[in-house]
Amino acid sequence: MRHEDQIREVLIKNTISLVAKGGFEMATTKAIVYSGAVLDDVKLNEVHIYRVFGSKENLYAQAFRMLDEEIFVNGYRAAMVFADKETPAKENFKKFFNSLWRFILGNEDKCRYYVRFYYSVYFRESAHRNHRENFANGIALFKDQFKEEADVRSLLHSTFTTLLDFAIRVYNGDLEDTQSNADHIFNLLYCSLMCYFKNSTMQLI
């Protein structure tokens, strides 16, 4: 199909925007093709969803997998600070936190979609395995930072979901996007992790 990559991109973009704003009930096939981004040289219709993705559910899943990759890529980049073995774990973790926190807050629609999909039936049905593979790569990056007895998967999962939960509160206006609040969130996360780091300090901000 001509323009398939462009069509795929627009349909995913519209799906993310619709689900972020109103949940999966809002992301009907009609809304996906007629609401949001359009293409100048292609008149989209609902048939394009089935031609490109096979089903609306596959479109949902591919949108999530794309975001999953994007979030983990940003997480990997942020985690490069841990290559500095001379710096205390707290300082490296603060740099990692700041980078990931700003990325999450700067991508509201994407992160709202991510959370809604993650807690939906669609996640277990179509994206769980790929997500676990991405997460396994993240564990490999962090494993050397933690003591041998630490359950790194559980620690990272808890940290990530807590970040997303706080971000949703910021999006909803329940929490201000201030440095003091960011420092508070960092301290909460670090307090839950510091006893597991090999090279940690008890001092907080």
pLDDT reported for residue 203 = 45
pLDDT reported for residue 205 = 43
User: What is the per-residue pLDDT across 73-90, written as a single tens digit (0 to 9) for each?
Assistant: 888 888 888 888 788 888
* Core vs surface per residue 165-191: b (16+ CB within 10 A) or e: ebbbebbeeeeeeeeeebeebbeebbe
Measured in whole angstroms, how far is the alpha carbon of residue 28 from the centre of its chain?
Answer: 23
**Cα separation of 86 and 11, whole Å?**
46
Q: Three-state DSSP class for 72?
A: helix
**Cα separation of 10 and 35, whole Å?**
10
Q: Provide the token pair at 166.
A: 């706080």
Element (H, E) at 64: helix 56-79
Task: Give Cα separations from 59 to 53, 55, 116 (angstroms).
Answer: 6, 6, 14
- Cβ pair 109, 101 in contact under 8 A: no
Confidence check: pLDDT of 1 > 80: no
Strand positions, DSSP E, the chain? none
Q: Enter the pTM of the model.
A: 0.88
> Can you tell me the mean pLDDT for 35-40?
77
User: What is the per-residue pLDDT across 177-201, written as a single tens digit (0 to 9) for each?
Assistant: 999 999 999 999 999 988 888 766 5
User: What is the per-residue pLDDT across 126-159, written as a single tens digit (0 to 9) for each?
Assistant: 888 888 888 887 777 777 778 889 898 898 889 9
Alpha helices (H) in 80-151, listed in sequence order: 89-105, 108-118, 121-126, 128-142
- Cβ pair 186, 205 in contact under 8 A: yes
